[in-house]
Amino acid sequence: MSLYRHHVFPWVLELVMNQRVFRKLRHEVLAPATGRVLEIGFGTGINLPHYPQGTRRIVGVDSNPGMTRLARRRADASHIEVEHHQLSAEALPFDTGSFDTVVSTFTLCSIPDLQQALTEVRRVLKPGGEFLYLEHGLSPDEAVARWQRRINPAWKVVGDGCHLDRDPTAELQRAGFAIERVRNFYLPHGTKFAGYMYLGAARRGRLRA
């Protein structure tokens, strides 16, 4: 399994997630990014060309060592300075309130302890900081949702822990985020069970004393 995860899956991800439809969505979700940016699930660095002009530094974290070679190649070709860490979002080694923006694209689906990761994200965001997310997830159509739950066990194996049946907006609310905006839609092509999208932003309020 580690052979697939470290050597095959990064190339599968690169091929699938670099399609035109995803490039347009990445550009849209990243447009509000500002200040010091943390990207969880940095992957192969596929978001780098889509950050707004003026972005100068990104701290990227990813738990899969197989992503590193592709990520470094993109970072070397980018005008953005990238600080890369191979680690899990469930334990972020950064100071409280040290980021203006946190970004997640197609990552919340595969984090084993998602609530712990979101607790860490909330901690490292500055008061009022934004969490920008582009994710696939649970469909409100019960017929589609049933298929998502049926396929999910096999999908997690092929997709390196990816879940089809998570609701990222609900998970963010559960973790104490206020949803500022969210747009839900099916991708125009492909299967509905893997193509129900969440594109949004959540705000982290001030921590209570």
User: Locate tokens 């972020």: which residue?
Assistant: 92
pTM for the whole thing? 0.95
Q: What kind and span of H or E run contains 104?
A: strand 99-105
If DSSP codes are grouped into helix, strand and coil, which group holds residue 173?
A: helix
What are the tens digits of pLDDT across the range 83-114? 999 999 999 999 999 999 999 999 999 999 99
For 129-152, what is the mean pLDDT? 98
What are the tens digits of pLDDT across the range 152-201? 999 999 999 999 999 999 999 999 999 999 999 999 988 999 999 999 99
Label the pairing between strands 178-186 and 81-86.
unpaired
The whole-angstrom separation of Cα 45 and Cα 122 is 23
